[in-house]
Amino acid sequence: MKATAKAHTNIALIKYWGKRDESLILPMNNSLSLTLDAFYTETTVTFNRELEEDKFYLDNEIILGDQYTKVSKFLDLIRNYADSPLFAEVHSTNAVPTAAGFASSASGFAALAAAATRALDLNLDNQTLSRLTRQGSGSACRSIYGGFVEWEKGVEDDGSDSYAVPITPQDHWDVRVAAVVLSSDMKKVSSRVGMKRTVETSPFYSGWVDSIPSDLMQIKTAIQNRDFEKMGKIAEANCQKMHATTLGANPPFTYWHDTTLTVMQTVQALREKGILAYFTIDAGPNVKVLYQPENEEIVHQTLRKIPGVSNVILSRSGQGVTYQ
Ligand code: PMV
């Protein structure tokens, strides 16, 4: 009735942007990510006959409101799957404070799904676990696996063929990622709201979807060949293309802050000096920078010095879900 699991977050190199089914969380396009070792969530789930409702604690604080509802609804799915009426107490800790501005939904839902299904003795294979996790948060389905992972959008209406698959062993390639945390806050459009608005109103959206198969094919070849420059170029361009769709939405919006742009330009300037580094950005102002191990020092020092940057956290490729 009790289990503990740990899951790492992931950064998408080919972004998931837009749903074809909002309630099942089915994406419009395949996406591809790298799991990161520096950011993770550890979650213990205990199902208990005595409980009259679920309880959710994050970093030892009880959570109520929207965040609680999301967790409890996700537990409903698992209860349904296991045919169990029991409520649960959930204790999660995030390795990097949520306040650092990194959404932890990917590691959060992956750890929750793994711990809850294990606590109910479901013993799911990773494919089934990924499919289930997807319904908590889309990008979380990729965090079941380590290394480079592709989320196959699937074609079925019931979501049965929409799950993540690892495309390399975790130790395939030592690519590093610097997570650049900006000091200023910006009013946030959630990924859910941002995607919906973009799909429904942006004239650029169809161009985004049409361009994915070619980006995916090329980046997968680059990853297999450990071709850093090619992988970085495709990832950086794919990120900018995704963010361009938001500027075409009605009303238009952007996740970028002025410092976001400064970081992007700094990364491009590093390349002009012969240091290969590439950026990518999710649904927020922070930037992740891809680099090779030999450039760690220069990349780290350069990013730290940018005014408006509060922290730079270095990460390697991380592993998939583990249990204690
Ligand atoms: O899974 P969500 O709802 O957190 O959406 C993630 C969307 C992006 O981070 C922008 C892209 C991605 O593939 O992770």
Give ipTM to 2 decimals.
Answer: 0.98
Q: What atom of ligand 1 comes closest to residue 14's alpha carbon?
A: 13
Q: What atom of ligand 1 comes closest to residue 139's alpha carbon?
A: 1
Q: Is the CB of 12 under 6 A from ligand 1?
A: yes
List, for residues 122-167, the tens digit of each pLDDT value.
999 999 999 999 999 999 999 999 999 999 999 999 999 999 999 9
Is 315:177 a contact under the CB 8 Å cutoff?
A: yes
> Do the bridges between strand 55-58 and strand 87-94 make them parallel or antiparallel, or are there none, so unpaired?
parallel
Q: Identify the band that residue 114 occupies on the pLDDT scale cut at 50, 70 and 90.
A: very high
Share of residues in the chain with pLDDT > 90 (%): 93
Indicate if the pLDDT at residue 213 is higher than 60. yes
Whole-angstrom distance, CA of residue 9 vs CA of residue 319: 10
**What are the CA-CA distances from residue 281 to residues 101, 129, 178, 321 (Å)?**
12, 27, 12, 24
Share of residues in the chain with pLDDT > 70 (%): 97
CA of 14 to the centre of ligand 1 (A): 10
pLDDT, position 203: 98
Quick one: tokens of 168? Answer: 């390399």
pLDDT, position 104: 73
State pTM to two decimals.
0.96
- The predicted model gives 240-260 an average pLDDT of 97
Indicate if the pLDDT at residue 100 is higher than 70. no
Q: Is the CB of 150 under 6 A from ligand 1?
A: no
Indicate if the pLDDT at residue 38 is higher than 60. yes
Quick one: tokens of 181? Answer: 């945390």
Residue ranges of domains in the chain, CATH in brackets? 2-170 (3.30.230.10), 176-315 (3.30.70.890)
CA of 56 to the centre of ligand 1 (A): 23
pLDDT, position 254: 96
Whole-angstrom distance, CA of residue 248 vs CA of residue 19: 17
Q: Identify the band that residue 183 occupies on the pLDDT scale cut at 50, 70 and 90.
A: confident
